[in-house]
Amino acid sequence: MKNFNNEATAGPFLCTFGIKGKRGLKKLLEKEMWWYYDQFGAGALSEEQMPHFGARVGFRSKSLKNEKVVEKVASGMPLRRAVMMLDALEQAASSQLYNVLSTLTDAKRLEEGCGFKNGVVKASADWGAVWKKVEAAGAIVELDWSKFDRERPAEDIAFIIDVVISCFEARDERGKRLLEAYKLMMTKAVIERVVVLDDGGVFTIDAGIPPSGFKTMCAGDDNLTIFSHEDFIIHRGSYHVTRLQACFPPGTNMKEGTSKLMHMVRWDEFDGELIIDEAAGRSHRWEYNFKGKPKFLSNFWLIDGQPIRPTHDNLEKLLWPEGIHDSLDVYGAAVMAMVVDNPWNHHCVNHMLMRYVIIQQLRRIDLIKGATHDVMIMCGLREAGGGGEVPFPMVAPWRRGNVHCRMEDYPEVAIYINEFSAFFRGVTTLYSRMPTGGIDAWAFMNIIRGESHVGEGQYGNDLIEWLKFLSKKYLRNLRGFRDRPAPVEPSEGDEQAFLSGFEVYRDLLLRRRLRTPMEFGAFLSRSPRNLLEMQLPVNDELVWHNGTPFPEPCIDRIADAVGKIVNIDYLQLKTTLRSVLENDPELGVLMLS
C-alpha cells in the first residue's frame, strides 16, 4: 500500500475489537486482504464470502467569521463538516488498482489533454509548466462543486467503477476472477458500505464518495479544464493574481497607521515595486487580489507562474491544526512548514518570520526560566498608556510597546532573520526543480515534522544542509539524523486483537453468516468488544470453536441478567449456558451485547 498513514483511525471493524489506530498494521492488512483475493481468484470463494466495509462519521473543524457563526447557529446549520472514515482493510483492497493507475496518470500529468492534473507536484517545475498552458488558454472552466462528493448518486459511482475496471484486461481465467473481485470490493467500499455510529446505530447511504486517494482521483471534485480558442470563443481577463495598493485622498495623515482610514480607501492595481507617497495618498498597505482568478489544488497563480494561496489559509492551519502543537518545537516545525507551503505569498512569509523570531526569543527565556506556558502568557501583556515595564520585555518589543517600530530595527533579532532568510531561499529553489530530481513541498513538510527522511543516494541534494539547519537551529531533531528507526510494528495487544477479530470475521463469512452489508453492520453493532477488552481470568474448561477460551466472568454476567428474567437455579443456569456456548459462542456474544 502506498501512502499508508500509521496515525489514521482504523475504522469501525477494528475499533470493534479494541484497535483505534492503523499504526503498524500495514503488513497484516495486506496479508489479510490478499488471502480473500487469492481465494476468489482460485474459485474457492463466492461473492457472498468476500468482506464488507464499514465507515465511521467524523467531523473536521473549519474556521468561520463571527457573523457566519451567528448565521449558522441561528439557522441550525452545522459549524463543522462531516468526514467518512472507512475500515482500514479498504485501502488494502484498492491498492492494487491504485498503484497501477496512479503511476500512469502521474506520467501523463503535464500533457494538456490529460485530466488527471491533481498529481502535479506544486513545489517543482510542474506548476510552472501547467501555468504556461493556463496562461495561453482561451477559457478556463473551474469545477469545484459544493457537496459534490456527498451528492454523487450510486448510478454515477457504479459507472466510474466500470470505467476503472475497463482500463485492465485479463490474461486468463484467474485474471478475470481477480478483476471481478476488484470491482466487487470497489462497489462494497463506495456504494454498499455501512455507517456505524458509536452508539451501535447502523445505516446505509445511497450516494457519496468516501475520502481516499484512489476514489477521489477518479471521481473527485477538484478539476481544471483548459479550452482553446477554436473550441470556445470566450475571453476573460488575466488569470494571475494581481496586487492592489491602498490609496487615500492626497494629504491624508497616515502617521498613526491606516487601519482607521479604511472607509476612505481606494484600491489601485500596481506592478513591480510598491511606491509609497504619503503626500499623494499612496500608503504602505497592499494586498493580493484573488477574486475572479482560477484556482487549482487550493492554489492560484502569480504572473510568473508561481503558486500562491491566501495568507488566511496558513494562519488557519496554525490556529486549527490537524494535530496538536504541544511544544515550541512542534509549533516551530509547523511555522516552517507553512513557509514551504506558501513561499510566494509575501504576507504569509512575513507572518511566519515574525513567529519564527518570537519562538527563538521564547526558547532563550525558557532555557533559563522554564515554565513555557506561564512565560507565553506574560509575554502577551502590552505597555499601558502610562508606560511601565512589561514582563520579559526582550520578547517582541516591536509589538508590545506604545511607540510604533519595526522588527528589523532591533539588532538583537538580526541573527534569527538571517537564519530564516537562508532557509527561505533554499525553499524557493524547489520550484525550479523537476520532481524526479528534487523533493516536493508535501514531502518536505513531512521531513520538517520528522515523519519522513531525505531520499538516499541523491547526488547534489543540498536539502541535507537545510535539514542540518533545522536540526541545529531551534527546531526539534529530525529523524533523518538519528539512528534509523525500526519498522513500525503493531503492539502485541493490537496484533492479537487483529488476528482474533479477523479470524472470527473470516469464519462468519465462510459460513455465509454475513451475506449482506446490513448483516455485517448488525454484527458490528452487537460486537464482542467487551469480551476482548476484558482483562479477567478465563475458564480453562470452556473453549470456543476457534480455540479461544470464553471468559467465565462473562458467563456470570449473562447468568445474572437471565436470572432476573426467568426463575431458575443459578448453578443450573450457568451449566446450561456453558453447554450452549460450547456449541454456539456467537450466541454468547449476542447475549452480552
φ and ψ at 277, to 5 degrees? -140, 95
Work out the average pLDDT over 103-132. 80
Reduced to 3 states, what is the DSSP secondary structure of residue 247? strand
Closest CA to 25 of 531, 450, 484, 487: 487
With contact defined as beta carbons under 8 Å apart, do 574 and 555 qualify? yes
Work out the average pLDDT over 550-572. 63
φ and ψ at 161, to 5 degrees? -60, -45
Would the pLDDT of 235 be above 50?
no
Output b/e per residue, 398-425; b: 16+ Cβ within 10 A. bebeeeeeebeeeeebeebeebbeebbe
Question: Is the dihedral angle over the CA atoms 454, 345, 127, 62 positive or is it negative?
Answer: positive
Instruction: Please classify residue 145 by burial: count the beta carbons closer than 10 Å to its beta carbon, then call 0-12 exposed, 13-18 middle and 19+ buried.
Output: exposed
With contact defined as beta carbons under 8 Å apart, do 94 and 189 qualify? yes
Confidence of residue 93 (pLDDT cuts 50, 70, 90): very high
Tell me how far apart the alpha carbons of residues 346 and 309 are, in angstroms, rounded to a whole number: 11
pTM recorded for the entire structure: 0.64
The model's pLDDT over 443-454, given as tens digits with 9 standing for 90+, comes to: 556 555 555 544
Q: What value does the CA radius of gyration of the chain take, rounded to a whole number of Å? A: 30
φ and ψ at 526, to 5 degrees? -110, 45
4 or 506, greater pLDDT: 506
| 195 sits in which H/E element | strand 194-196
Q: How many residues does the chain have?
A: 593
Tell me how far apart the alpha carbons of residues 316 and 493 are, in angstroms, rounded to a whole number: 37
Would the pLDDT of 23 be above 60?
yes
- 164's CB contacts (< 8 A; 6+ apart) are 97, 101, 186, 218
Tell me how far apart the alpha carbons of residues 250 and 280 are, in angstroms, rounded to a whole number: 5
- pLDDT score, position 534: 33
With contact defined as beta carbons under 8 Å apart, do 92 and 30 qualify? yes
Distances from the Cα of 492 to the Cα of 25, 489, 498, 530, 531, angstroms? 11, 9, 10, 18, 17
Closest CA to 526 of 593, 427, 447: 593
> Which cell goes with 306?
508561481
Question: Is the dihedral angle over the CA atoms 297, 302, 304, 307 positive or is it negative?
Answer: negative
Per DSSP (E only), the strands in 324-433 are none
Instruction: Please classify residue 220 by burial: count the beta carbons closer than 10 Å to its beta carbon, then call 0-12 exposed, 13-18 middle and 19+ buried.
Output: middle
Question: Is the dihedral angle over the CA atoms 255, 261, 266, 271 positive or is it negative?
Answer: positive
Residue with cell 498494521: 25
- pLDDT score, position 31: 95
Residue 24 falls in which region: left (phi positive, over 0), alpha (psi -120 to 50) or beta: left
| 13-27, 90-104, 306-320, 527-541: segment of lowest average pLDDT | 527-541
Confidence of residue 548 (pLDDT cuts 50, 70, 90): very low
With contact defined as beta carbons under 8 Å apart, do 520 and 89 qualify? no
Work out the average pLDDT over 547-575. 62
With contact defined as beta carbons under 8 Å apart, do 393 and 365 qualify? no
φ and ψ at 143, to 5 degrees? -110, 110
- pLDDT score, position 545: 37
Closest CA to 214 of 167, 147, 155: 167
For the chain, first and last CA: distance in Å?
35
The model's pLDDT over 464-503, given as tens digits with 9 standing for 90+, comes to: 555 555 555 434 444 444 444 556 888 888 999 899 889 9
Give the other-Cβ count within 10 Å of 439's Cβ: 21
| 220-229, 355-364, 384-393, 578-587: segment of lowest average pLDDT | 220-229
Tell me how far apart the alpha carbons of residues 561 and 569 are, in angstroms, rounded to a whole number: 13
Per DSSP (E only), the strands in 16-117 are 54-60, 81-86
Residue 266 falls in which region: left (phi positive, over 0), alpha (psi -120 to 50) or beta: beta
> Which cell goes with 352?
511566519
The model's pLDDT over 335-353, given as tens digits with 9 standing for 90+, comes to: 988 888 888 999 999 999 9
Give the other-Cβ count within 10 Å of 523's Cβ: 24
Residue with cell 519498522: 487
Work out the average pLDDT over 157-166. 92
With contact defined as beta carbons under 8 Å apart, do 488 and 452 qualify? no
| 89 sits in which H/E element | helix 89-107
223 or 279, greater pLDDT: 279
Distances from the Cα of 277 to the Cα of 247, 259, 295, angstroms? 9, 17, 33
Would the pLDDT of 111 be above 80?
yes
- pLDDT score, position 291: 87
Would the pLDDT of 405 be above 50?
yes
Share of the chain residues as helix, strand and coil, in percent rounded to the nearest 5: 50, 10, 40
Tell me how far apart the alpha carbons of residues 186 and 496 are, in angstroms, rounded to a whole number: 28
Tell me the pLDDT of the chain averaged across its residues.
77
With a pLDDT cut of 70, the percent of the chain lying above it is 70
The model's pLDDT over 515-533, given as tens digits with 9 standing for 90+, comes to: 899 989 888 886 544 333 3
Would the pLDDT of 118 be above 60?
yes
Would the pLDDT of 171 be above 50?
yes
With contact defined as beta carbons under 8 Å apart, do 299 and 308 qualify? yes
Domain boundaries along the sequence of the chain: 12-117+149-220, 308-475, 528-593
Tell me how far apart the alpha carbons of residues 354 and 339 are, in angstroms, rounded to a whole number: 12
With a pLDDT cut of 90, the percent of the chain lying above it is 22
229 or 281, greater pLDDT: 281
Distances from the Cα of 526 to the Cα of 40, 521, 529, angstroms? 28, 9, 9
Tell me how far apart the alpha carbons of residues 198 and 16 are, in angstroms, rounded to a whole number: 10
Please count the CA atoms within 13 angstroms of the CA of 235 that sit on its side-chain side.
Answer: 1
490 or 210, greater pLDDT: 490
Closest CA to 310 of 284, 342, 350, 285: 342
Tell me how far apart the alpha carbons of residues 155 and 219 are, in angstroms, rounded to a whole number: 13
The model's pLDDT over 28-77, given as tens digits with 9 standing for 90+, comes to: 999 999 999 999 999 999 999 999 999 988 877 667 778 888 888 888 88
Residue with cell 464482542: 528
Confidence of residue 425 (pLDDT cuts 50, 70, 90): confident
Reduced to 3 states, what is the DSSP secondary structure of residue 296? strand
Confidence of residue 458 (pLDDT cuts 50, 70, 90): very low
Work out the average pLDDT over 150-161. 83
